[in-house]
Amino acid sequence: MLRGYSREVVQAILQNPEYRTFIPALATFFAVNPVEIEVSHEERAGGESKYSIIKLLSLQLDLMTGFSMWPLRILFFAGSIIALLGIMLALLIMIMRLYRGPGWAAQGVFTLFSFMFFLAGCQLFALGLVGEYIGRVFQAVRHRPAYILEKVYKFSNGVRLNIAAKKFMYAEMGCNGPYSCP
C-alpha cells in the first residue's frame, strides 16, 4: 500500500500514545477529507513478502480490537437471544406438558435443553457485559480524542463556534445541528 498523509495527520498520529495500532485506520480517523489516488504497482523484483498468514491475522485482530467493540457486543446480543430462546423453550415445554401430558417431554431431555440454553445464554450475556466494561475502559485509557478541532471561531456577540474535523459542535449556539442554527 502506498499512502501519503498531511502534516496535521502525521502530528496527530505521533501525539497518539497508542501501542500496536493500525496506522491507516488511525490516519483515516484523524483525516478531514481522506482521498484515494490510484497508483500502478509493478511486480516484486525479487524475494517474497515477509507477511505470513499469522502476521496478516494479527494485523486483522489489531484492526478489529483497536477500532471496534462490536465483537464484544455480538457476545452480549447473542447471549440475550440464546437466553430468551431457552426461556421460550421452557415455556413451550410447560404448555405442551399441560396439553399433551408428561410423556411428551422425553423424560426431561427437552427440559434439560431449555435449561442449558438459558445458562449458555446467561454466560454469553455476562461475558459480553464484562467485555463492554473492559472495552469502555480501554477506550478511556488510550486517550484517543473524541474529535479534532480544526479552528475556533469567535463571533462579535461572544459566542464561540468550534469547527471539528469529524464532528461539528453547535451546542454553544443553542441549536442541535448545522441545519437548525439561525
Element (H, E) at 164: strand 160-164
Helices (H), the chain: 7-15, 23-30, 53-67, 70-100, 109-141
Cell 495527520 belongs to residue: 9
C-alpha cell at 53: 498468514
Residue 81's pLDDT is what? 92
Q: Give SS3 for 43.
A: coil
Task: List per-block mean pLDDT (blocks of 10 residues) for the chain, which spans 182 residues.
Answer: 78 75 76 78 82 85 77 87 90 84 72 86 90 83 68 64 43 44 42
